[in-house]
Structure 1
Amino acid sequence: MNKLNAQHFYIAGAFRNVPLVQQIAGQLNDAGATQTFDWTQAQPNADLATLKGIAQLEQRGITSCDFLVFVFPGGKGANIEFGIATALQKPIFIFDTTDTVNNIAETTTFYQMDHVQKYRGTVGGFVNFIANNMLL
């Protein structure tokens, strides 16, 4: 596997996919990358003040990452994180769990942009896909 030494990543996803998000993060860490913020440790039913603090940490995590991973489909927050990364012109790697990102009836124009790479397959294959594309 190609190494992602000194690369920083952020993962956007939904609470319903926390085990998958954590599996991807673990393999990226094993490949030498560093996660900028792990939102999976946050409580989804926190109070508003806590949510504000988490949002600030998430935004900082996105602004300081070298690339964003988007576990698709994501929730409301994941799509906002995707938007922040797009505005910052960060490379984005989509792990398509439903095989709909390339389905014209299901997708969005933003998933087709040049800085977005899409993948459908295994987690290990996805990590290799990221490593190969980040080394270009």
Structure 2
Amino acid sequence: MKFYIASSFKNIDKVRYVSEQLKAQGYVHTYDWTQHEKASTLEDLKQIGQQEMNAVAESDFIVVLLPAGKGSHIELGIALGLNKKVILYSPNNEINNFTTTSTFYHLSEVEKFIGSLDGLVEFLKSSAEKTFNYTKDKLI
């Protein structure tokens, strides 16, 4: 089972935590952008963008951790366009705040999870098992 996590640099610790929890269960992180510094040139941006787009395409599902930046929202759009499973995470109910929410958060293709990071990890594991008939070792 392959996954990608989209978020902003201010959520690096949360992204790493969710990634480590999933990898410990046998999931594969298609690209870990948290291992790199912020881009400093246009060429860096191009290379990172290509790696992130490839990672979304290669993933079975993506997780978007809010608050997220513009790049994360583009990755959300790429995932939706590729019919990937999308899980949108918020520690609070900001997803449903009409004045700050996004239209795309409310598409039927987007699953929302509001709560703790540990709750999100459990949700992801149980959701993947139901959706993909996933076992720890392989897809069935």
User: How large is the Cα RMSD of the aligned pairs?
Assistant: 1.2
In structure 2, runs of 5+ residues without a counterpart are 131-140
In the other structure, the counterpart of 2:41 is: 47
In the alignment, structure 1 residue 115 sits paired with structure 2 residue 116: no
Q: Provide the rounded CA distance (Å) in 2 between the counterparts of 1:33 and 1:53.
A: 25
1:129, CA displacement in angstroms? 0.7
TM-score by length of 2: 0.87
Give, in whole Å, the separation in 2 of the partners of 1:78 and 1:90: 15
Gaps of 5+ in 1: 1-6
Q: More helix by proportion, 1 or 2?
A: 2
1:54-92 residue CA offsets vs partner (Å, 9 max, x unmatched): 111101100000000000120110010000001011111
Letter of the 1:10 counterpart: Y
- Give the whole-Å Cα distance in 2 for the aligned partners of 1:78 and 1:98: 18
* SS of structure 2 residue aligned to 1:101: helix
For 1:69, what is the secondary structure of its paired residue? strand
Question: Deviations 1:81-125 (Å, cap 9, x if unpaired)?
Answer: 000001011111111034210222221221111221111222221
Q: Find the aligned partners of 2:56 and 2:96 in 1 and give their Cα distance.
A: 25
Q: Which moved more, 1:118-127 or 1:84-93?
A: 118-127
1:81 corresponds, among 64, 72, 75, to 75
Deviating more after overlay: 43-52 vs 8-17: 43-52
Superposition TM-score, scaled by structure 1 size: 0.89
* Aligned residue in 2 for 1:27: 21
**1:100 touches 1:106 (CA, 8 Å); kept in 2?**
yes
Q: State the identity as a percent.
A: 36
Deviating runs (4+, > 3 A) in structure 1? none
